Every structure is written in structure tokens, then in C-alpha cells.
Amino acid sequence: MSLLQVKNLVVEFPSRHGTLRALDDISFDIAPGEILGVVGESGAGKSLTGAAIIGLLEPPGRVAGGQILLEGQRIDHLNNDEMRHIRGRKIGAIFQDPLTSLNPLYSIGRQLTETILAHLPVTPQEARQRAIQLLKDTGISAAEERIDHYPHQFSGGMRQRVVIALALAAEPQLIVADEPTTALDVSIQAQIISLLKKVCKDRGAAVMLITHDMGVIAETCDRVAVLYAGRVAEIGPVHQVINHPAHPYTAGLMASIPDMDSDRERLNQIDGAMPRLNAIPQGCAFNPRCPKAFDRCRQDRPDLVQAGANMAACWLHDGSAS
């Protein structure tokens, strides 16, 4: 049974000029112990999908359709107080900007121990020891001393490690990690990736890993979902999607990655840009940028269909394509 199920999720933003649909019919699931990577260009809807799952959509954004289920129970219709009990204990979040995740008025130790005490049946002393161990696990040296320091006394990369420790503090079943290694150097990235894998293996936790870094995806994830203009363009086992992309957009992303074995002087690029929410083209949203588009792509929007080991929303894999 899947730990997280996202079914036909729709997120809209009402405005004076009409309603903008930012996520349109998004569906995927994550099993216990699995890491699902979510990739795509800026504006594809990656972080918004994570925010909808956590229940942190910025007003006037709203879930306008579909369902989000955690352990078979719907959570998309819960109010703020009900979601507050789920966040931290069942769902941990690692955000892109550590400055917005830490309270500058409280010491790191206080923020960690308060989170642990709020969700786990431990004493204050046990909570402090657990907080120190979490800091060590995430690469903070001299954790026994640094636990009493404040966020401004940490570098950007160290603050990000503290945010990761905070997300793991209450042993959540699902971790939504939005660019968790962006501010870290390569050696610490490897350490954090190893930690996320260990959390999945030891606790059976599931991870939704949002990132632009295909190297991190290849090293960390079991499956990957490629988003484009608020929809899933392709989803499948990570090595299949990377080595045998079924959607032209995924193929374009793969071709833009530097290849150490190639002597190319210039990387490939996908012409054009992600469409604005008020200018999503008819048919397949990728058709104005797609080198393989034909008439049907410009008229009808494709659904996800089987494309080898992957699922792809592309008319190239429809039996009637011509």
C-alpha cells in the first residue's frame, strides 16, 4: 500500500482576470521506504505540489480538485489546526531557504527540542540528546556546543543542515524535501543524500525530493516524476527515465546535462520557455517547444499512457499517433 497518494490534484489561484490553474490533474504515489524525485524547470509546479501536500499553500491558492491521501486518509480538506498535528509528526518538510524555516529569536537547541517534545514521548534531557545526535548526523561539528547557538551564528549551508535535522526530529513517515542540498558543498551533499537514504531504509519513511539536479536524482531516487506546466509529463524508474526518456521534454532535459565522455563544445538547449499560467497553449502544453510535435499535439491534451517501463503524457505513444 502506498504511504502517499496524490490523485488528480488541481491547484488554482483566483485573480481579478480569472482563475489561474497552476497544477492540473497531478497524480502519483510514494510507497514506504521509497524516494520519488520531482524535476522540471522553474515554474513547472514542483514546489507548489510539495506545498499542497504539506498544507502550506499561500492564499489565495487553493486545492480545487482531486485528493491527497496519507496512509489512506484524506488530508487535503483538513483545517490548519488539524494539519498542524500532522506536520512534523507525520510529514517533515525541508525548505529551500533555511532563513524562513528557523526562528532567529530561539536557539537551535530550543527549536529542535520543542519539536521533539511536541511529537515524541521523551523527557527534556532525552530530547536534547536526540537533538545533538541529529546535528551530528547532518554534519554539524561540535554539536554539543553549537546546539545553544542561534541561527545567525551559522553559515547558510549549516543552517540548511539544521533545517534537515528539524525535519527529521519527530521521525516523520513522509519527508517533503524542496532543494535540500542547494546551499551545500559537494561533500556535505553526499552526506545528506546518504542520510535521506538511511532514513528511508531504517524507518521505512518515504521522501519526495524536489530538485533541479539530475545528478542528485540519479544518485538518490527510486523513481522520478517530470513536471511541465503543472502536469506530469513522465514518470517511471529513475534509470529508465534518465537513460530512455519517453517524453520529448524529458529527452531535452537529459540532453542539456554535461557529458564527461563527450567532446561537445556546446550543450543542447530546449528552445522557448515555460508558458505563463494565463497562456497555457491548447493541446500538449509543451507543443510550441517540441521538435516532434504534430497536429494532434496542438489540438488535444494527452493523458499519461504506458511508454515502455515509464508512463508519458505524449501522443507519440498513442496507438493512433501518425
Q: What is d(CA 46, CA 40) in angstroms, rounded to the nearest whole number? A: 7
**209 neighbors 38 (Cβ within 8 angstroms):** yes
Contact (CB, 8 A) for 98 and 183: yes
* pLDDT for res 96: 77
pLDDT at 149: 97
Question: Is the pLDDT reported for residue 15 higher than 70?
Answer: yes
User: Which is higher by pLDDT, 111 or 189?
Assistant: 111
For the chain, how far is it from start to end, CA to CA, in angstroms?
Answer: 38
Of the two residues 322 and 228, the one the predictor is more confident about is: 228
- Between 49 and 58, the more confident residue is 49
DSSP character at residue 87 = B
Going by pLDDT thresholds of 50, 70 and 90, the confidence category of residue 266 is confident
Pure H helices in the chain: 46-54, 80-86, 108-119, 124-137, 143-146, 156-168, 186-203, 214-220, 238-243, 248-255
Strand 310-312, strand 231-237: pairing? antiparallel
How does pLDDT run across 120-170, given as a tens digit for each residue? Answer: 999 999 999 999 999 998 889 999 999 999 999 998 788 888 998 999 899
Q: Judge if pTM exceeds 0.75.
A: yes
- 88-105 pLDDT, tens digit per residue, is 899 999 987 777 889 999
**Grid cell listed for 177:** 524535501
Query: Quick one: pLDDT band at residue 322, thresholds 50, 70, 90?
Result: very low
Please give the pLDDT value at position 264.
67
**Residue 267 predicted with pLDDT over 60:** yes
pLDDT of residue 110: 97
Q: Shortest CA distance to 59 belongs to which of 6, 104, 11, 107?
A: 11
Percent of the chain with pLDDT over 90: 69
Residue with cell 532543494: 179
Q: For residue 34, what pLDDT is reported?
A: 95
Annotation: CATH topology of 4-90+172-317? Rossmann fold (3.40.50)
Digit-coded pLDDT (tens) for 246-258 = 999 999 998 887 7
**pLDDT value at position 251?**
93
* Distance in angstroms (rounded) separating the CA atoms of residues 165 and 168: 5
In DSSP terms, which residues pair with 177 in a beta bridge? 94, 209
State the burial class of residue 23 (Cβ atoms within 10 Å of its Cβ: 0-12, 13-18, 19+).
buried
Say if residues 277 and 208 touch (Cβ distance below 8 Å).
no
State the average pLDDT over residues 223-235.
97
Q: Give the pLDDT mean for 283-298.
A: 96
Q: What is the pLDDT of residue 204?
A: 85
